Structure 1
Amino acid sequence: MVLFIVLGACLVGVAITLNVTWIILNWRRFMPLLLGIPFFVLLIAGVVLNTIFLVREVRRNERHDAFLNAVTHELKTPIASIRLYLETLERRELPEDTRNKFYGIMREDSDRLLATVEQVLKAGEVGQRSRSQQMRVPVEMRSLVSACIDITRSRSHAQAESGVPQSITLEAGDPSIPVIVRGNPDELQTIILNVLNNAVKYSSSRVDIRVHLRIENDAWVILSVTDSGIGIPSAHLKRIFKRFYRVPNRSVLRTKGTGLGLFLVRTIARQHGGDAFASSPGLGLGATISIQLPRVLTPLEAPAVTSLHRQESV
């Protein structure tokens, strides 16, 4: 990437030098100046655009390589774990409680493996589907968010047992006021679980997550998830929603993930007529991921009651 930037800067410098020399030699001739200056502007613009394109391609290839490494690790680790426990069960006579424990671990590893595959497929699916192709029903967000929090707590139960303090609180406002959006319940569940799981994963020594659900200007439903984790540098707040992008930080790169979670969050939110945003005071000071969705003021039918699947998120 540095090579392409330096090469582009050198080409622009050479072009400017030649053009200035040409103008000095032909400043008394009107037609060469009239024709030469626009061609010079086009030449410089072409060199700059070509350099930008090359730099973007280099960055995209780097993200693809990081994604392949992450997915390979996410697939290899549970497969190796399942194989190890199966070989142990085949070669040794184990007590019933130990066998049941091994079965539970293998089930969790298979769920993790399936979730990684489903997430990659979902990323390709949402990128190709238009909003008009989706089936929308009214969804009550307060109950959906509460159920997703329960799932997140159950998933991180092992971390709580290891001595890491955990706290996930929900502030949803007046329960008598309906908080309803129109959308696909499964996809809304996916983005909420992704944001909650990210907040748990990137929390450092303790898990302290605050979930706020509010109505803004009677037109928008805002879901904000704030953690006290490793934080996000300001230069990366917009980039984290790109496909395969992960913040180049050692603490982040040590955490398992494919770089697709927040891409799915923003893509699905925009397909529902909303958006997703990120904010952070800085490194080590936590971060807030907000999802904005259009509110349904007078639903024509009862909100959808969804059966929440215990699927893994990023």
Structure 2
Amino acid sequence: MRISGRKRNMVLFIVLGVCLVGVAVTLNVTWIILNWRRFMPMILGIPFFVLLIAGVVLNTIFLVREVRRNERHDAFLNAVTHELKTPIASIRLYLETLERRELPEATRTKFYGIMREDSDRLLATVEQVLKAGEVGQRSRTQVRVPVDMRSLVAASIDITRSRNHLDAEPGSPQPISFEADDPGVPMIVRGNPDELQTIVLNVLNNAVKYSASAIRIRVSLHIEKDAWIILSVTDSGIGIPAAHLKRIFKRFYRVPTRSVLRTKGTGLGLFLVRTIARQHGGDAFAASPGLGLGATVSIQLPRLLTALETPAVTSLHRSETA
């Protein structure tokens, strides 16, 4: 297997760091041996030795992290370039076909639908990149309102079904099933409705995107210890290796397996999920039995026990389901 230039540089930094530490240890041991009868030089030499070792180790760690960060940035740029270029090329091809040929009305309508889907995909990619830039700079003092999570999740499921054409045939099980605690129990959180819907849609879209050919997604919404509202989305898709369960929430990170890298994505979806959840006082977690065994992504948000205002689910949430 061919080793990339950055990986070679990372190996070089690690080897160089180990060599420098070895040289420092050798010099210090020699210093102690030569000056063991002289108390003050030995006492002064040990702290300087510790500082030297710490500096070398920290420098090596910093360099390795920078190499890895640059690799993630390059992967992100490649993914975004592909996500932007593919729909643009598709729209251009269909426009040229419509311009040069006389086509039946049914074919023209079909082409318009495909171009609309490509433009939606293009817009979604741009919005996700912009949102990732906003979440780290937004003030925590922004205005928030009570939001009914039961209604918001139901609306988000409708949007996901519509976007991915997941309408089940009569008599067949729904690709996305939804269950929640007793409808009489309020599930209210205080937050920004648009941001909360963004993270719910991201988790649902990931579950669809990384599912196998047969999409079976279970969505559950329940209250934990009266203080938390937990949204869990479980799929039966490609799964996540245990070593990557925490890393998938980092900016630009994508699991380096063939099944994941073959799937289109920017590595920003779950980063937005955890960042926005934490800005709302909650968190996000992932669990998976292993590769090929599906995964569960959970969002934890603090429950609002005394809602003084009418819970908000803006008209945008429902309008997109049409």
After TM superposition, the score normalised by the length of structure 1 is 0.95
Alignment of 1:220 with 2:243, yes or no, is: no
Per the alignment, in what secondary structure is the counterpart of residue 175 of structure 2?
strand
* Contact 2:155 2:317 (C-alpha < 8 Å) held by counterparts: no
* Contact 1:160 1:166 (C-alpha < 8 Å) held by counterparts: yes
Alignment of 1:26 with 2:35, yes or no, is: yes
Alignment match, 1:117: 126
Partner of residue 240 from structure 1, selected from 236, 239, 248 = 248
Rounded to whole Å, the distance in 2 between the matches of 1:308 and 1:173 is 25
> In structure 2, what residue type is equivalent to 1:308?
L
* Contact 1:230 1:284 (C-alpha < 8 Å) held by counterparts: yes
Q: Deviations over 1:232-272 (max 9, x none)?
A: 11111111000000000000000000000000000000110
Rounded to whole Å, the distance in 2 between the matches of 1:271 and 1:182 is 11
Per the alignment, in what secondary structure is the counterpart of residue 223 of structure 2?
strand
Rounded to whole Å, the distance in 1 between the matches of 2:81 and 2:89 is 12
Partner of residue 88 from structure 1, selected from 86, 97, 121 = 97
* Contact 1:137 1:184 (C-alpha < 8 Å) held by counterparts: yes
Unaligned runs of 5+ in 2: 1-9
Q: Deviations over 1:42-87 (max 9, x none)?
A: 0000000001000100000000000000000000000000000000
Alignment match, 1:41: 50
Moved more, 150-159 or 210-219: 150-159
Alignment match, 1:2: 11
* Contact 1:243 1:260 (C-alpha < 8 Å) held by counterparts: yes
Alignment of 1:135 with 2:147, yes or no, is: no
Rounded to whole Å, the distance in 2 between the matches of 1:58 and 1:170 is 42
* Contact 2:156 2:317 (C-alpha < 8 Å) held by counterparts: no
- Identical aligned residues as a percent: 88
Alignment match, 1:204: 212
Rounded to whole Å, the distance in 2 between the matches of 1:311 and 1:39 is 66
Alignment of 1:51 with 2:60, yes or no, is: yes
> In structure 2, what residue type is equivalent to 1:284?
G
Shift of 1:158: 6.8
Change (3 A) 1:228 1:271: same
Alignment match, 1:13: 22
Shift of 1:130: 2.7
Per the alignment, in what secondary structure is the counterpart of residue 315 of structure 2?
coil
Q: Deviations over 1:216-247 (max 9, x none)?
A: 11111110111111111111111100000000
Alignment of 1:99 with 2:99, yes or no, is: no
> In structure 2, what residue type is equivalent to 1:55?
V
> In structure 1, what residue type is equivalent to 2:120?
D
* Contact 1:241 1:263 (C-alpha < 8 Å) held by counterparts: yes
Shift of 1:309: 5.2
Alignment match, 2:273: 265
* Contact 2:168 2:175 (C-alpha < 8 Å) held by counterparts: no
Q: Give the aligned length.
A: 309
> In structure 2, what residue type is equivalent to 1:73?
H
Q: Deviations over 1:163-196 (max 9, x none)?
A: xx86211110100111000000000000000000
Rounded to whole Å, the distance in 1 between the matches of 2:153 and 2:255 is 27
Change (3 A) 1:158 1:286: closer
Alignment match, 1:275: 283
Rounded to whole Å, the distance in 1 between the matches of 2:166 and 2:115 is 15
Per the alignment, in what secondary structure is the counterpart of residue 313 of structure 2?
coil
Rounded to whole Å, the distance in 2 between the matches of 1:123 and 1:75 is 16
Shift of 1:36: 0.4
Per the alignment, in what secondary structure is the counterpart of residue 290 of structure 1?
strand
RMSD: 1.8
* Contact 1:115 1:311 (C-alpha < 8 Å) held by counterparts: no
Per the alignment, in what secondary structure is the counterpart of residue 275 of structure 2?
helix
Rounded to whole Å, the distance in 1 between the matches of 2:76 and 2:135 is 18
Rounded to whole Å, the distance in 1 between the matches of 2:305 and 2:174 is 35
Per the alignment, in what secondary structure is the counterpart of residue 207 of structure 1?
coil
After TM superposition, the score normalised by the length of structure 2 is 0.93
* Contact 1:63 1:245 (C-alpha < 8 Å) held by counterparts: yes
Change (3 A) 1:228 1:311: farther
Shift of 1:308: 3.2
Rounded to whole Å, the distance in 2 between the matches of 1:79 and 1:311 is 26
Rounded to whole Å, the distance in 1 between the matches of 2:62 and 2:203 is 32
Partner of residue 302 from structure 1, selected from 307, 310, 316 = 310
